[in-house]
Structure 1
Amino acid sequence: MTAPAELVPTGAEMLQHLVESAGGARQPAADMADLAEIIRTLLAVETRRDTRVRLGGNLFDVVISSSGLQARGAVALMDEIQGGCGPVIEDPESGWLYWLVPPESSARWASHSHAVCLGAPHTITLPSLNRTAPPGPYWLRPSASDRLVPTGPLREALAQIRPEPTPHAALALQLGITT
């Protein structure tokens, strides 16, 4: 049995009810600007543009290791562990892999002989999602919305495989950081 047409609210009436039930004007949540920036960033990457993003926050941090043949072994090991490795960007020019790991990982990352973990306030340029080969940085393992690279297994894989050269000195010089 269906309700009479005059009892079924229109879309405009439902929206008005929601507005009225929300109460008076409120300040937007502090993280809404961040959310808008994140959405704009992800849309830009999706529309085939390289996009610079801040590390940390709600997105991800990044572990940086060598991108040589040994590092490919670590990617293969993470493929086995994860059933397909989480997102990894290769930058042939710098010779680095950028492993996208859960946000705030840099705060918990202990010193590692073959990798560095960076979070806020650093940034990274994400290649467009269709870039899967050089020239320039590209997705060695594409970004999937449902996973990042877990830091525990990644630490173990990098300790086992020991990719060289390590990024420590080059990062310290480039970013003016100490590791």
Structure 2
Amino acid sequence: MTLTGAQAMRELIESADPAQGPAEDMKDLADLIRTLLHVDMKQDTRIRLGGNLFDVVITGSGLQARAAVALMDSIQGGCGPVIEDPESGWFYWLVPPGSSSRWEPHPHGVCIGAPHTITLPSLNRTAPPGPYWLRPSASDRLVPIGPLRGALAQLRPEPTPHAALAARLGVTTP
């Protein structure tokens, strides 16, 4: 019998010695596995940015941002993962981890990483209502920040998220 990820996790938990807690260095891994199981089970899930997964560049989601996605499609042979949130009017571009520490201020995008979090839509959500995968997440790629910065500079997506993010997250922006 083949077990689902959730069933395998439940069996591991049930077979563990109750006196034994998870090793301190494994707590983050266990949290990550639980989170990814939620995504796999087609549930929205909140995940911490940074670490070994990804950071996020936030831009407006207007026509210029859609043109940036098309440009990244041609650069990457299919753009890396992008989430659209129609309610906020933002795109969330998933970029390599650590990008937020290397991201220079940009007039059309903000890059955030740890300690912030993001809610990932379930993998099967590809249309509104709510946030959805404009470009689905693939295990083999993220959006590279160099070409993304160039696309944003060239196409200037509006509205910019700077003021709203500064108020919401306490992020300082140019």
Q: Please confirm whether the aligned pair reaches a TM-score higher than 0.5, indicating the same fold.
A: yes
Q: Which amino acid aligns with 1:112?
A: H
Q: How many residues align?
A: 152
TM-superposed CA distance for 1:175, in Å, is 1.3
* Aligned counterpart, 1:22: none
CA distance in 2, matches of 1:37, 1:83: 33
Q: Which has the larger radius of gyration?
A: 1
Structure 2 residue aligned with 1:118, among 112, 117, 122? 112
Stretches of structure 1 that go unaligned for 5 or more consecutive residues are: 1-26
Q: Which amino acid aligns with 1:147?
A: R
Instruction: Between 32-41 and 165-174, report the one with greater CA deviation.
Output: 32-41
Q: Which amino acid aligns with 1:164?
A: E
* Aligned counterpart, 1:51: 45
CA distance in 2, matches of 1:63, 1:177: 13
Structure 2 residue aligned with 1:61, among 34, 41, 55? 55
1:106 aligns with 2:108: no
CA distance in 2, matches of 1:37, 1:28: 12
- Sequence identity percentage: 80
1:82 aligns with 2:90: no
* Aligned counterpart, 2:143: 149
* Aligned counterpart, 1:4: none
CA distance in 2, matches of 1:78, 1:152: 11
SS in 1 for 2:122: coil
CA distance in 1, matches of 2:23, 2:31: 14
Q: Deviations over 1:109-151 (max 9, x none)?
A: 0000100000000000000000000000000000001110001
Stretches of structure 2 that go unaligned for 5 or more consecutive residues are: 1-21
Question: Which consecutive aligned stretches of 4+ in structure 1 deviate over 2 angstroms post-superposition?
Answer: none
Q: Which amino acid aligns with 2:51?
A: G
* Aligned counterpart, 1:138: 132
* Aligned counterpart, 2:158: 164
- What RMSD in Å do the two structures reach over aligned CA positions? 1.1
Q: Which amino acid aligns with 1:155?
A: R
TM-superposed CA distance for 1:28, in Å, is 3.7
TM-superposed CA distance for 1:29, in Å, is 6.3
* Aligned counterpart, 1:18: none
TM-superposed CA distance for 1:177, in Å, is 2.0
CA distance in 2, matches of 1:117, 1:141: 18
TM-superposed CA distance for 1:39, in Å, is 1.4
CA distance in 1, matches of 2:37, 2:138: 14
1:72 aligns with 2:72: no
CA distance in 2, matches of 1:177, 1:158: 20
CA distance in 2, matches of 1:43, 1:79: 28
TM-superposed CA distance for 1:96, in Å, is 0.2
1:95 aligns with 2:85: no
TM-score scaled by length of structure 2: 0.85
CA distance in 1, matches of 2:49, 2:95: 10
CA distance in 1, matches of 2:56, 2:157: 16
TM-score scaled by length of structure 1: 0.83
